[in-house]
Each structure stands twice: as C-alpha cells, then as structure tokens.
Amino acid sequence: MSNLAKKAPPSRSKTTPSAATHHERKPALSIIKDIQRQSRRQYTAEEKIRIVLEGLQGEQSIAEICRREGLNTNIYYRWSKEFLEAGK
C-alpha cells in the first residue's frame, strides 16, 4: 500500500428538524405562488401606451424594448393590438 493513507469520507452530522412543525409550514406551491405575486409587475395605462408607442416608432427592436422593460414580447403584442383596436 502507498504512503498515502486513505481518508474516510467526512461524516455527515445528523440535523434536527427545524423549530417549525409540519403543521406550521406552508406548502411549497403556496410559497411559489406568493413569490410570483410579489414579483409580478403592474404597468399603468400610461406606461403601456409609452411602451407601445416606442415600439411603433421603430427606433429599437421590440425585443430590445421588452428586455429593457422586463416584459415578455407576447404581452407587448397584446397591448399593441388593444391600443390599435381602441384607436379605430
């Protein structure tokens, strides 16, 4: 055998359950939905109009505008359609 002694893998310490009991914890799905609600951005009508008009000007691509605004392109096109239909 070589001079290098084989080291045993580090032992894992047994963790105790957290102070919260099973009944006090929120289900994971509930936590995820809470986070989504908190992170969902609400745009005012003025912001929507500004973003749509900026896209219609054509100085920047729709993708660039949406990236900058943190907006999905599908939402932009929905707003654009609503904006153009309202102007009929």
- Rounded CA gap, 5 and 45, in Å? 71
| pTM score, whole prediction | 0.56
Q: Using an 8 Å Cβ cutoff, are 37 and 47 in contact? A: no
* Domain definitions of the chain by residue range: 43-88
Residue 8 has pLDDT above 70, yes or no: no
Q: Would you state the torsion angle of the CA atoms of residues 82, 87, 71, 55, taken in this order, to the nearest 10 degrees?
A: 140
Residue 45 has pLDDT above 90, yes or no: yes
Q: What's the confidence (pLDDT) of residue 53?
A: 97
Residue 21 has pLDDT above 70, yes or no: no
Across the chain, mean pLDDT equals 81
Confidence label for 87 from pLDDT (cuts 50, 70 and 90): confident
Q: Which residues contact residue 52 at a Cβ distance below 8 angstroms, ignoring those fewer than 6 apart?
A: 76, 79, 80, 83
